Structure 1
């Protein structure tokens, strides 16, 4: 599996509770914060749920 760098680019203000919980699960708490996660199917599903709030890049 590839490593993914996930960066929160939009504010969580105005998002519903489920989207906020998804960001917390990914480890994103602030704007412009980045985390690296392995690209497993479960992580990809979380990213898809909040795709409008995050930017995803593949790490080499």
Structure 2
């Protein structure tokens, strides 16, 4: 199964509460921190919610 590398590029300061919670549930706490997640619809939806704060790449 494909995997996604999600990297936080911008700060969550000043963002909406649900965006901060989404970043936290993805496991992102700091700028330039990356996490590897399975490519599932739930993860894609969470990454789409905070797409202005993160970069998403496919990895194998």
What TM-score, normalized by structure 2, do the two folds share? 0.96
Structure 2: gaps of 5 or more residues: none
> Equivalent residue for 1:42?
42
Q: How does 1:8-19 map to 2 (within 5 A)?
A: 8-19=8-19
1:1-60 aligned at under 5 Å gives the runs: 1-60=1-60
Q: 2-side partners of 1:37 and 1:15: how far apart? A: 23
**Any unmatched runs of 5+ in structure 1?**
none
TM superposition shift of 1:2:
1.0
Which runs of structure 1 show a deviation greater than 6 angstroms over 4 or more consecutive aligned residues? none
User: Could you say what the CA RMSD is over the residues aligned between the two structures, in angstroms?
Assistant: 0.6
**What is the number of residues matched between the two proteins?**
60
